[in-house]
Structure 1
Amino acid sequence: MEILLVVIFVLGYLGIAMEHTFKIDKLIPALAMMAVLWALIAINHLEVFEIIPGIGKESHHLEGVLLHHLGKTAEILFFLMGAMTIVEIIDYFDGFSTIKSFIRTKSKIKLLWLFSTLAFVLSAIIDNLTATIVLITILQKIVSDKETRLWFAGLIVIAANAGGAWSPIGDVTTTMLWIANKVSASQLIIHVLLPSIVCYALPTLVASRMAIFKGNIDEIIADENANSYNSALMFYLGLGGILFVPIFKTLTHLPPYVGMMLSLAVVAAVAEYLSNRRFKVGKAMGDHDQNHQSPLHKSLSKIEMPSLLFFLGILMAVAALESLGMLFDFAGALEANVPYLGTEHASTKISDLVVLLLGAGSAIIDNVPLVAASIGMFQIGMDEPAWHFIAYAAGTGGSILIIGSAAGVVAMGMEKIDFFWYLKKIGGLALLGFLAGSGVFVILRDFLLNAH
């Protein structure tokens, strides 16, 4: 029966990895895989376990284990739902136009560093997918040459993925590790920020020496809405609300989704006030807007439900294998047979090679199930160096291929980037940044461990 479950999981995995080939949204195989796995467990009355750190497998009733995993998955989904809604509220007020006010140069090299740095910083706050959408939208308004714009977009993808890796709110995978209490916000930043900077800065530096980035772009078109008071207010309020969540968790020790709901409530309240005031002013001036709608309701209708359903399916599918103890046993086999290549002072025995392969694998297969599986496999303590390395590798490895990350996929759609063009022009730069950042991580980790 376990072999059948693994076969179903692998088939579902292939469906997810090859969604562009099959032209089927990845949420479909994810949801089907989840339902079939749990159904087979229930029908065959298989014994399920809860993995307890330091103890191992402990047998439990199926319904209790299912509810336990659903609760942990719901924490992630509600956190993401709150963050997505705040981002949509910012967009409702055209808040991201504020970013365009930072662009005051026509030099291609300066613009490259500006866009890459903005992608790196923004992705750490509003996630790498949203940061990529925002910056490519702005890019399309100021860079007219298609070839030049493709290069900019490729470097934005690398920087956005690197920026999401060091922040607990910057990427779904780091958020998963944070919510699962595998990493703390402070230690994640200490261990992963410098490698992530190297991961985006080195490819940007190499690219800035290329002929494509020599010279200037055409005149930048001014955006009349860029300096709107309401736009800027909602932009900074929204970003501040998301940044408040790690602080809230540190102060209260409550799950992050609670802080995100509080931030959403504050941002939505201000949005409702500004929207109602604007509507009343419009009516007083004779502008009867029949389409006036609550910004909160409008934003909730625009959040990425397919993404949320995909996360539900894949996380619960991985949980099914975890509940049978299969991931725990597989991790034991890895730890016993793969040599550990790091410092002798490290308390974990997870091989650096395994983590690097996980990062490279995220360029082919979605990094969410890879990290979900690692959470179920490795029963090591919070803030062990391996968790920080997994956060870095899974977050940045996807940049190697255009289909390896959500940021890459959305850039591919927005700019019609060819798979092989990206592989030839950008893939090598992404690989260089990934490996250089990995090297910096190992050196920094060994230094910090020796210092203790």
Structure 2
Amino acid sequence: MLSAVIACFIIGYVVIVFEHPLRLDKTVPALLMGAICWALLSLGFNSGVLDVVDGHEHLFSLADHAGDHAMSHEEAEEGFMAALLHHLGKTAEILIFLIGAMTIVEIVDLHRGFDILKGWVRTRNKKRLLWIVGILGFILSAIIDNLTATIVLVTLLRKLVPDRDQRIWYIAMIVIAANAGGAWSPIGDVTTTMLWIGKRVSTAGLMEYLILPSIVCFAVPFFVASFLKPFQGELMGVPVVSKEELKAERLLSSKTMLFLGLGMIVFVPIFKTITHLPPYIGMMLSLGVVWLVSEYIHPEEDFTEERKEAYSAHKALSRIEMSSILFFLGILMAVAALETVAVGEVGALRAVAEALQSVIPDQNIVVFILGFLSAIIDNVPLVAASMGMYDMAKYAIDDTLWHFIAYSAGTGGSMLIIGSAAGVAAMGMERIDFIWYFKKISWLAFIGFAAGAAVFMAIETLF
């Protein structure tokens, strides 16, 4: 039965990896994989074939040969359900947080808040434009997450660079900047958010240890790219938009909602630090404030009750990607099943970690390889698996292991266009070819990833 659980996970994972050739939304195999893994685990447990481990490392068994672990049927059932509810609770924390953040971003977008950014980019010099949009991507991704930052900047570049062949070079570089920017912020990437909510990293620790490696990961490829031919000279055919025209495109509420939305998202880590409450509580508060303001603010001069629906939070909620939320639900619960099924005295993922430790004693090498894997495989399940592999009693909050995992999983995905949410979004919006990205951009992403990793390990060694 253990083999069946593992086989179900592997098959589901393969289908997710090949979602594009199969033309199947990855949410479908994720949901099926999560449900079937737990179903197999329950059947195996109730028949006495499988043992389970809860979130506190307690072993529960219905097997006849349980020995010291022998217990009543009721106790074992309670233990199994407690393990399931524990993992569902941890997953729900992440999903509620993401739903709140995504809704705030959509409210800001409805009020054309991100159009303010167009006024900050007024140059025809290709090299200067590269650094401006790169820095914007790096900073924005740390605030509104790398996926949303990429979508915002792709939309902006469509207006700034009409020539698609030229534009995709900038967009590909934004993917690198957005992933690097998201790695040092607890709200910048789903994986760092998972580690933060899972109490593996703190806001201050993440920023302290990863800000410099992330800057290097961003700056090195951009510095090299600035000498490449696509970023030399001036942009041709770009219309000059006056400040008056830019203001005319905005709404009365654009600036207010932009700074309120970004400010309330940034407030979440501050709220957690002050109150010591889980991050999703702070996100609920922030969403409530933004929603409240959006109900009473007037986006237009002649604002009527009939126009209110166009800028409402209800419309913003209808625009968030629920398929992504359900994907995370399925994949995280599937990984939780592997964390729960017992191999000997520990969960299956912990057993894998112990086996890796015996084969590759240097954890930095293991985590560095994780960065390459995140370019091929979705980094969400990789980080979820790593959280189950290593014992928090041995690797406490802000241990360098967790910081290096956050860096590797967050930035390693830039090496392939399909390796991160930001890359997939850019690929979908601009139809960027996988082979083109691999030939032109992957080497830039690699040198940035390797340089940042070297800086991280140097800091670890010295301090």
The answer to whether TM tops 0.5 is: yes
Are the equivalent residues in 2 in contact too, given 1:106–1:219 (CA < 8 A)?
no
Residue of structure 2 equivalent to 1:305: 322
Residue of structure 2 equivalent to 1:214: 232
Q: Aligned pair 1:36/2:23, yes or no? A: no
Q: Secondary structure at the match of 2:376?
A: coil
State the one-letter code of the partner of 1:316. Answer: M
Q: Aligned pair 1:237/2:263, yes or no? A: no
Deviation, structure 1 residue 126: 0.3
Separation in 2 of the partners of 1:95 and 1:377?
42
Q: 1:47 to 1:122 in 2, by over 3 A?
A: same
Residue number among 140, 147, 153 corresponding to 2:158 in the alignment: 140
Separation in 2 of the partners of 1:57 and 1:152?
51
CA deviations 1:86-114 (Å, max 9, x no partner) are 00000010000011111122111110000
Are the equivalent residues in 1 in contact too, given 2:150–2:422 (CA < 8 A)?
yes
Are the equivalent residues in 2 in contact too, given 1:360–1:398 (CA < 8 A)?
yes
Q: Aligned pair 1:282/2:299, yes or no? A: no
Are the equivalent residues in 2 in contact too, given 1:51–1:58 (CA < 8 A)?
no
CA deviations 1:14-34 (Å, max 9, x no partner) are 011111111111111110011
Separation in 2 of the partners of 1:226 and 1:99?
12
What is the correspondence of 1:27-426 to structure 2 with a 5 Å cutoff? Answer: 27-44=27-44, 45=46, 46-52=50-56, 56-59=57-60, 61-217=79-235, 218-222=238-242, 223-225=246-248, 228-275=251-298, 278=300, 281-283=302-304, 289=306, 292-293=309-310, 295-324=312-341, 325-340=347-362, 351-379=363-391, 380-426=395-441
Separation in 1 of the partners of 2:408 and 2:398?
15
State the one-letter code of the partner of 1:434. Answer: F
Deviation, structure 1 residue 294: 5.9
CA deviations 1:33-88 (Å, max 9, x no partner) are 11111111112223211243xxx444362111111110110000000000000000
State the one-letter code of the partner of 1:85. Answer: T
CA deviations 1:91-149 (Å, max 9, x no partner) are 01000001111112211111000000000000001000000000010100011222210
Separation in 2 of the partners of 1:89 and 1:7?
42
State the one-letter code of the partner of 2:369. Answer: L
Q: 1:212 to 1:293 in 2, by over 3 A?
A: closer
Separation in 2 of the partners of 1:409 and 1:328?
31
Separation in 2 of the partners of 1:226 and 1:111?
22
Are the equivalent residues in 2 in contact too, given 1:366–1:404 (CA < 8 A)?
yes
Q: Secondary structure at the match of 1:322?
A: helix
Q: Secondary structure at the match of 1:209?
A: coil
Q: 1:75 to 1:225 in 2, by over 3 A?
A: farther
Separation in 2 of the partners of 1:434 and 1:51?
33
Q: Secondary structure at the match of 1:383?
A: coil
Q: 1:294 to 1:143 in 2, by over 3 A?
A: closer
Deviation, structure 1 residue 431: 0.6
Q: Secondary structure at the match of 1:282?
A: coil
Q: Secondary structure at the match of 2:253?
A: helix
Separation in 2 of the partners of 1:225 and 1:13?
48
CA deviations 1:158-216 (Å, max 9, x no partner) are 00000000000000000000000000010111111111111111111101001111111
Q: Secondary structure at the match of 2:54?
A: strand
State the one-letter code of the partner of 1:207. Answer: A
Are the equivalent residues in 2 in contact too, given 1:101–1:227 (CA < 8 A)?
no
Q: Secondary structure at the match of 2:319?
A: coil
Residue of structure 2 equivalent to 1:348: none
Separation in 1 of the partners of 2:86 and 2:102?
25
Aligned structure 1 segments of 4 or more residues deviating by more than 3 angstroms: 56-60, 219-222, 224-229, 288-294
Separation in 1 of the partners of 2:95 and 2:415?
27
Q: Secondary structure at the match of 2:200?
A: coil
State the one-letter code of the partner of 2:312. Answer: P
Deviation, structure 1 residue 290: 6.6
Question: Which 5+ residue runs of structure 1 have no aligned equivalent?
Answer: 341-350
Are the equivalent residues in 2 in contact too, given 1:245–1:259 (CA < 8 A)?
yes
Separation in 2 of the partners of 1:150 and 1:299?
28
Is the deviation greater in 145-154 or in 178-187?
145-154
Normalised to the residue count of structure 1, the TM-score between the two structures is: 0.92
Residue of structure 2 equivalent to 1:12: 12
Deviation, structure 1 residue 337: 2.1
Separation in 1 of the partners of 2:202 and 2:293?
30
Separation in 2 of the partners of 1:294 and 1:212?
39
Deviation, structure 1 residue 282: 3.4
Normalised to the residue count of structure 2, the TM-score between the two structures is: 0.90
Separation in 2 of the partners of 1:191 and 1:282?
48
State the one-letter code of the partner of 1:254. Answer: L
State the one-letter code of the partner of 2:329. Answer: L
Q: Alignment RMSD, CA only?
A: 1.5
Residue of structure 2 equivalent to 1:347: none
Is the deviation greater in 239-248 or in 36-45?
36-45
